[in-house]
Structure 1
Amino acid sequence: MVIFKKFAFDSAHFLPNVPEGHKCKNVHGHTYHLTVFLEGDLVKDLEWVMDFKEVKDVIKPVIDRLDHNMINDIPGLENPTAERITVWIWDQIKPSLPLLSKLELNETPTSGVIYEGK
């Protein structure tokens, strides 16, 4: 069974490696929407895959590092493309969420990344 939990955060960033004149070379912000997917069997007697509060407890400190901050200032996110941010989040949470199967990060309503750990 697959369960999911959604989160949102607001952050500023710029993309230092894009060509001169590209608008994303300038500082700008997004309201990011993160969906965390977990896959596993139902826990006997509880009849759930995982407690959503446990998921939130793992994700909240990571979101707090990103929310209302300049992402480029976070070690490992000096070139914070949506793809790089998604992999960074995965690396932060996977050790505490062994059932993690997929992340979806939207930086706009029409653009985003799906990452399955590969």
Structure 2
Amino acid sequence: MRVTIEKDFGFEAAQQLPGFPEGHKCRRLHGHSFEVRIAVEGEVDPATHILYDHARISRAVEPLLVQLDHQLLNEIPGLENPTIESMAHWFWERLEPLLPGLSRISICETPRVRCHYHGPSASRTGP
């Protein structure tokens, strides 16, 4: 049986988006309550009836959240222009080696704005 497990995390951070045009409100220093959703996909182990121990996902993500929480994202290496697109990629690069079956990283900066990243092979149609 193939399943997808998703786990949500959150952090608070400030950012400026230097790639936006002069005068755009997102170029100014501002903050968000970010939500990060990590999805892993694979076959359920017939012996345990699980795909992943959820704590395994938490152990991989927590050190990254410590780096980001209550920080200015622009000061973190790799996030000099911290759009949600670049943040999703930043998370992927750090989690992919730790979480076999990683299938999607979603970053929400507001309840109505989010980015879903499926890894470097964006054109793939399935696992």
| TM-score (norm. length: structure 2) | 0.90
Partner of 1:8: 10
| Bigger fraction of residues in helix | 1
**Over aligned residue pairs, what C-alpha RMSD do you find?**
0.8
Instruction: Quote the sequence identity (%).
Output: 38
Alignment-mate amino acid for residue 63 of structure 1: L
2-structure distance, mates of 1:34, 1:51: 18
Kindly provide the CA deviation profile for residues 58-115 of structure 1, in whole angstroms up to 9, marking residues without a partner as x. Answer: 0000111111111000011101111001100111111000110011111000001001
Q: Report how far residue 18 of structure 1 moved.
A: 1.4
Kindly provide the CA deviation profile for residues 25-69 of structure 1, in whole angstroms up to 9, marking residues without a partner as x. Answer: 110000011111110111232110010001100000011111111
1-structure distance, mates of 2:93, 2:103: 12
The aligned runs of 1:1-118 (5 Å cut-off) are 1-117=3-119, 118=122
1-structure distance, mates of 2:58, 2:118: 19
Q: Which blocks of at least 5 consecutive residues in structure 2 are unaligned?
A: 123-127
Q: List structure 1 runs of 4+ shifted beyond 3 angstroms.
A: none
Q: Which blocks of at least 5 consecutive residues in structure 1 are unaligned?
A: none
| TM-score (norm. length: structure 1) | 0.97
